[in-house]
Amino acid sequence: KGKASHTVTVLFILTCALVYVTLLEETPQDTAYNTKRGIVASILVFLCFGVTQAKDGPFTRPHPAYWRFWLCVTVVYELFLIFILFQTVHDGRQFMKYIDPKLGVPLPERDYGGNCLIYDPGNTSDPFHNIWDKMDGFVPAHFLGWYIKTLMIRDWWMCMIISVMFEFLEYSLEHQLPNFSECWWDHWIMDVLVCNGLGIYCGMKTLGWLSMKPYQWQGLWNIPTYKGKIKRIAFQFTPYSWVKFEWKPASNLRRWLAVLGIIFMFLLAELNTFYLKFVLWMPPEHYLVLLRLVFFVNVGGVAMREIYDFMDDPKFHKKLGQQAWLVAAITVTEFLIVVKYDPNTIMLPIPFFIMQCWILGILLILTWTLWRFFIR
């Protein structure tokens, strides 16, 4: 009853504020501006309602309302993707101008391949210029991204498999997107070993610290010292308790298929990052690309925890969590947008020898699955 009353109060205050801002305008605005403002106001009202009334997820720190907010953002983002999916290709790309007037124009893709010499003797001024050219903003982004993914997955082997598999996907699809064309040392040294590997290592070290740190649930006002209060406030942004993920993919067929599905969805979400900006004409450094990554950082951890709980204790968690379903729906919807907006690129034939490698890999997985869970 108190929660519902609080919701009504907040909604009433927000609605009054929106009406007040509208009445303050002395000059009429154009239709596009009013439409944008109305959509933003509607989203804010929905987020305000969801933060107070949505179902709580598995996380409680720093506050359950924080995770309810991202759950509602997930719904808004999925509705936005559905809207884009049902537009024509031209209208969908031009609609992005309502978000940023600089969008809606085709942009060239950067090719990271070309001269792959680590040491270029022909360039006397800077023989290591090829390395410095690759040292852009995506290097720390790769490290930070894999650090956070490790905190989500909480398994060294799964992280390394996803990291290596994505490099193979870049090799396989560089005929579709020039952005995938990289030097061999950019793939395996800078990405897998340095950026991804270091991010996974730091993530595993953080997981070890979280599993060993003492968890105290004493209230802030019950702590006598100021130092203790400050420490308690800082620990408010750490987990309330810790659950170690033990995926055990070879224990039974259900867990094996679930792990394969998790790896597949991770790889598909990674590919969507590149293909979406390609088909919607968004430059890699645009803030919308960064906001999408920030979005997945906040919702991915909740989704992974819900998946693990559902796999580990299906008797207690009888159905998959709401955030996990929404993240899966978003990943599939993004892929459908890519297929609709540029089917010619998606349908470019894969080179025959690459197709042979993927067929061989799939057959090996199927053979091992049959031997492990049916024959053995």
- Domain annotation covers residue 273: no
For 77-133, write each residue's pLDDT tens digit: 999 999 999 999 999 999 998 888 888 888 775 555 556 656 566 666 665 555 656
Tell me, yes or no, whether 358 lies in a domain. yes
How far CA 48 is from CA of 63, 76, 78, 327, in Å, comes to 15, 12, 18, 21
Query: What b/e readout covers 331-341, taking b as 16+ CB neighbours within 10 angstroms?
Result: bebbbebbebb
The answer to whether residue 359 is domain-embedded is yes
Question: Does residue 336 fall inside a structural domain?
Answer: no
- Total Cβ atoms within 10 A of residue 224: 8
Which structural domain range is residue 355 located in? 349-375
* Residue 93 forms part of a structural domain: no
Distance from CA of residue 65 to its chain's centroid?
A: 20
- CA dist 165 and 177 (Å) reads 17
pLDDT at 64: 87
> Does some domain include residue 368?
yes
Query: pLDDT category, 1, cuts 50, 70, 90?
Result: very low
Structure confidence at residue 272 (pLDDT): 95
Q: Which pLDDT value is given to residue 16? A: 61
Number of domains in the chain: 1
Q: Is residue 325 part of a domain?
A: no
> What digits encode the pLDDT tens for the residues 21-52?
655 555 556 777 777 888 888 888 888 888 88
Residue 193's pLDDT band (cuts 50, 70, 90): confident
347-375, pLDDT tens digit by residue?
888 889 999 999 999 999 999 999 999 98
Choose between 249 and 182: higher pLDDT: 249
- The model's pLDDT over 250-286, given as tens digits with 9 standing for 90+, comes to 889 999 999 999 999 999 999 999 999 999 999 888 8
Kindly state whether residue 167 falls inside one of the protein's structural domains. no
